[in-house]
Amino acid sequence: MDWTGHMCGIVGYIGPQQAAGLLTEGLARLEHRGYDSAGVAVLGSRLQVVKKAGRVRDLVDALPKRFAGKVGIGHTRWATHGPANDTNAHPHVSADGRVAVVHNGIVDNAASLRERLTEAGVELVSDTDTEVFAHLIGLSTADNLEAKVVDALSQVEGTWGLAVVHADFPDRMVVARNGSPLIVGVGDGEMYVASDLAAVVRHTTTVAHLDDGELATVTATGFTTFRQDLTTTTTTAREVDVDPSAYEYGELADEPRMFTEILEQPSSVERALRGRLDERFGTAHLGGLNLDPRELRAIRRVKILGCGSAYYVGQMGAGLIEELARVPADAEAASEFRYRNPIIEPDTLYVAVSQSGETIDTLLAVQEIKRKGGRVLGVVNVVGSAIARAVDGGIYLHAGPEIAVASTKALTNMYVAFSLLALQLGRVRDLSIADGKRLIAGLQALPTQIEEILKSESHLEEVAARLAEAESMFFVGRVRGYPVAREGAQKLKEISYRHAEAYQTSELKHGPLALISESVPTVAIVPQDELTDRNVAALHEISARRGPLVVVTHPDVDLGELDALRVDVPKNEVELDPILLTIPLQLIAFHAAKALGHDVDKPRNLAKSVTVE
Ligand code: F6R
């Protein structure tokens, strides 16, 4: 576990093959999620555990020659509290050395459990809360592994994705989920478990997603699921619709994942559009909404909820929905929403937006809305994820696996998904067929236009190098351009660790203009739209204060005498421009981080999914 609640990685194997190699390979596939130590346990003639701070490579190097066993579990841990050392890495073992556990999530009552165990004479060797699971299972007097695990879980408050092996029960693993994802993968005479499909997709795409509160017994030939009261459940495995090759990076394997994911956008956008456009009637067909036209018409308001970058794209989406469907729409940080006792209205459509589908703040917001009788749609990338399963309907992003911590292609597809939703919502209301067709043509042009932006990489690299020199900078935009500025600042902050503050261009003169100087550059989003002149006027004010300028704009925008580094983006329909204006900002953030020598895929203090509040 890690005390911060960032998601660590779990992988497990049982079958006819030696487990160690399969486990470390699976862990390597989870590497890019961010981690600082890794470990594996295999059960052969005895239980053996090896764990190491550092990379999966270091773990592989540390494995002894004799490390045999056909059942085993592995883990990548991420810690920001408590040192990342060999001892704190998982798996953790019971005092008698017969139980090994790996755990994602957080034990809320760890302190009191540790105290109780200490009083009972158990010596705790690590600083983690996960270790209590190993001891509680080891001390349980129940006579089968399932009951021992349930015994332990009944004493624990918190969240878990958990996998357990026990030397007395070598024919099985027991796994459990509560708030942290866990899947069971069905192979041919062998079985896998994992926290993420990426770890097992090379071996199987037939998987079962455990529900919160559910456990499973996994043997070499199958699995059974049950609840904590030991009653059985009927969770079954299904073929998931993913292309395993999407997880392979081929010739770009040595490039940072963020970079490969940026480059993938022309094709990932195409996937998001595939089969969803109705050119004849100028509308979109989103099969998963589970809303008929009459229900769509009855919507009086749209409320979008997400966290971080997903929230910013939600803000772009709200703008689109207001423009195209003329339905009041706004976006709010899911992490704040449910704490202000929100009023849930029956004729409001709530939309939860999340790449991972596991972000706890967003999931809890969904649950709060549903508890109060609201209707929620999901805009989600990961198929079968917790949010995808909790909502009443939704739109899958089809971005393919996104591994880099800093999100790029998934955000772009969120925007595409919101465009489709706005289009469909608009076309059951007052959006004309002509406007619908205009937007469809715009959407179809996106992949080629993104391609064009990606070609200007070397120019963006120069821009990034200039920005990387500054300790602090502004990203500014207005109306459609403001969420673009927010996302641009976020991406730069996340991976370059430079301070970047997003502001509405119109608000600069009400305060922050005071900060503008030669050493504080501004990246301005200036689309060709009804606000261009006002935007350009504001840039003159910045320039007059000697603030260096980068202007992300359209080819026909006349910046006059302005002294600025210019980044031109192909023009689309005004409603769709924001997403294209975001793409160069991804490459600017990437190259700024690279110029500063940072590990782009593993930004400090961040991990891919934030599964604890
Ligand atoms: C930004 C980033 C985060 C996520 C946020 C929500 O690059 O990765 O801000 O956007 O944590 O994550 P999801 O979309 O998985 O809910």
pLDDT digits 0-9 by tens, 490-535: 999 999 999 999 999 999 889 988 899 999 999 999 999 999 999 9
Of 293, 294, 275, nearest in space to 284 by CA: 275
Looking at the predicted structure, is the pLDDT value of residue 426 above 90? yes
To the query of whether residue 307 is one of the catalytic residues in this protein, the response is no
Distances (CA, A) of 243 to 90, 202, 412, 581: 30, 10, 20, 29
Looking at residue 32, its pLDDT comes to 66
Whole-model pTM: value is 0.77
To the query of whether residue 8 is one of the catalytic residues in this protein, the response is yes
Looking at the predicted structure, is the pLDDT value of residue 201 above 70? yes
CB 554 within 8 A of CB 567: no
362 lines ligand 1 (CB under 6 A): yes
pLDDT digits (tens, 9 = 90+) for 437-480: 999 999 999 999 999 999 999 999 999 999 999 999 999 999 99
Looking at residue 4, its pLDDT comes to 32
Place of tokens 């996994």: 218
Q: Which mutation among 196, 304, 315, 359 tests ligand 1's pocket best, with the greatest number of atoms within 8 A of CB?
A: 359
Question: What percentage of residues in the chain have a pLDDT greater than 90?
Answer: 80
Spacing, Cα 130 to ligand 1 middle (Å): 26
407 lines ligand 1 (CB under 6 A): yes
309 lines ligand 1 (CB under 6 A): yes
Find the range with the poorest average confidence among 158-162, 331-335, 353-357, 556-560.
158-162
Spacing, Cα 7 to ligand 1 middle (Å): 13
pLDDT digits (tens, 9 = 90+) for 281-330: 999 999 889 899 999 999 999 999 999 999 999 999 999 999 999 999 99
Instruction: Report the atom number in ligand 1 closest to the C-alpha of 406.
Output: 7
Spacing, Cα 23 to ligand 1 middle (Å): 27
More confident residue, 612 or 588: 588
**Considering all CA atoms of the chain, what is the largest pairwise distance in Å, rounded to the nearest integer?**
82
Q: Which mutation among 311, 351, 355, 418 tests ligand 1's pocket best, with the greatest number of atoms within 8 A of CB?
A: 355
CB 473 within 8 A of CB 500: yes
Q: Which residues, in sequence order, are CB contacts of 374 under 8 Å at separation 6+?
A: 344, 345, 346, 348, 350
Distances (CA, A) of 387 to 241, 317, 379, 381, 474: 18, 19, 9, 10, 34
pLDDT band at 540 (very low <50, low <70, confident <90, very high): very high
Spacing, Cα 312 to ligand 1 middle (Å): 10
Looking at residue 557, its pLDDT comes to 97
pLDDT band at 212 (very low <50, low <70, confident <90, very high): confident
Looking at the predicted structure, is the pLDDT value of residue 250 above 60? no
CB 278 within 8 A of CB 424: no
Looking at residue 270, its pLDDT comes to 94
Looking at residue 111, its pLDDT comes to 87
CB 580 within 8 A of CB 444: no
146 lines ligand 1 (CB under 6 A): no
609 lines ligand 1 (CB under 6 A): yes
Looking at residue 218, its pLDDT comes to 98
Looking at the predicted structure, is the pLDDT value of residue 171 above 60? yes
CB 310 within 8 A of CB 355: yes
412 lines ligand 1 (CB under 6 A): no
More confident residue, 269 or 34: 269
Looking at the predicted structure, is the pLDDT value of residue 355 above 90? yes
Q: Which residues, in sequence order, are CB contacts of 367 under 8 Å at separation 6+?
A: 390
Instruction: Report the atom number in ligand 1 closest to the C-alpha of 382.
Output: 15
**Once rounded to an integer, what is the mean pLDDT over residues 554-582?**
96
Spacing, Cα 329 to ligand 1 middle (Å): 21
Give the number of residues written for the chain: 613
pLDDT band at 2 (very low <50, low <70, confident <90, very high): very low
CB 1 within 8 A of CB 195: no
Q: Which mutation among 195, 261, 309, 358 tests ligand 1's pocket best, with the greatest number of atoms within 8 A of CB?
A: 309
307 lines ligand 1 (CB under 6 A): yes
Spacing, Cα 352 to ligand 1 middle (Å): 12
Looking at the predicted structure, is the pLDDT value of residue 246 above 80? no
Looking at residue 565, its pLDDT comes to 96
